[in-house]
Amino acid sequence: MGAKKKKEDSTKLVSKILIVGVCVLFVGLMILSGMGTGWLTVFTSVKSGDTVVIDYTLFDAAGKPIVTTDKSTYDQALAQGSGVFGSNQITIAANKTIEKPIYSIPIYPSNGGKVQQLALFSSEYNAVSSGIIGMKANEQKRIPISSNISMTQFLSAEQLGTMKIDLNNISLGDNFYGLVQANTEEFANNTTTNSFLRIGEVANKSRDGIEVDFSYPTANVRVVSINKR
C-alpha cells in the first residue's frame, strides 16, 4: 500500500507540474499575441530594402561628437564644453544608395537657437545604409564613413575678415561652421537659401589663415526598429 500511495503522489505531482507549465505557456502566448508581431524583430536582422529607424552620433576627425540623438552623449559633450548639436532619430533605407548629393538632417543647437539643416553627403549616407546590414534591434555599431570630395578647406585671413571673424580669436580644435550648396556638394562662400550647414574643426592655424577639417570619419549607430520590406 505504501508503494502504491507513493506512485499516486508522484503521478499527482507530475500532473500539477504539467498543469502549471501549460498555464505559463498559455499566459506567455497571450502576452505575445498582445504585442503583435513587433517582438519578432528581436530575432531578425537588417536586410537590403528594410526601412530602419536609427539613433546615431557623428564624430569629427578628432573623435568629438558633432551631432547625436543620444542624451548621455549630448550631456557629456556639453559638460566638456563641446559645441554639440542634438538630433532626432532618422529613418534610413538599408543598402539603398541615394542619387541626390546631399541628405539633409534637422539638428538643434545647444544654445536654443533655430533648427539647422545638416549636410550629410551621399557617400556618407550610403556608408551608413550599407553598414547597418546584418544588425539587430538595439544593436550598436561604429561605422566608418567618408565623403568622395575633399573635406579640408583653407580660409585666408582676408577671407575671415570679410566674414567678420578675427583670426586672433580662433584656436586649434575650435568648431567652425561652413555652408554646403544644395545639389552640388560644394562649399558656399556666403549664406544662401539653398545651402546646408557643415560643422568642422580648426585643424591648423598660421598667420595666413586656418585649415578646417569638415570630415566625419565615423558614425556610431544603434538600430531602434526594423520594418521589413
Q: Quick one: which of 217, 222, 201 has its CA closest to 84?
A: 201
Cell numbers describing residue 157: 585671413
pLDDT at 10: 55
Q: What length does the chain have?
A: 229
pLDDT at 148: 73
| 208 lies in some domain | no
| 27 lies in some domain | yes
| 71 lies in some domain | no
| 6 lies in some domain | yes
Q: What is the pLDDT of residues 1-57, one digit of tens each?
A: 555 555 555 555 545 554 544 444 444 445 545 555 555 555 689 999 999 999 999
What does the H/E/C string look like for the chain? CHHHHHHHHHHHHHHHHHHHHHHHHHHHHHHHHHCCCHHHHHHCECCCCCEEEEEEEEECCCCCEEEECCHHHHHHHHHCCCCCEEECCEEEECCCCCCCCEEEEEEEECCCCCCEEEEEEHHHHHHHHHHCCCCECCCEEEEECCCCCCCEEEEEHHHHHHCCCCHHHCCCCCEEEEEEECCCCEEECCCCCCEEEEEEEEEEEECCEEEEECCCCEEEEEEEEEECC
pLDDT at 131: 97
Q: How far apart are CA 137 and CA 40, in angstroms?
A: 10
| 98 lies in some domain | no
pLDDT at 96: 93
pLDDT at 9: 54
Whether the predicted model's global pTM rises above the 0.85 cut: no
| 106 lies in some domain | no
| 28 lies in some domain | yes
Q: What is the mean pLDDT of each run of 10 residues along the chain (229 residues)?
A: 54 52 48 52 83 97 94 93 92 93 92 89 95 96 86 92 92 91 67 81 95 95 92
Domain range for 26 is 2-36
Q: Quick one: which of 85, 76, 82, 93 has its CA closest to 58?
A: 85
CB crowding 98-113: b at 16 or more within 10 Å, else e: beebbbebebbeeeee
| 204 lies in some domain | no
Per the structure, the count of domains in the chain is 1
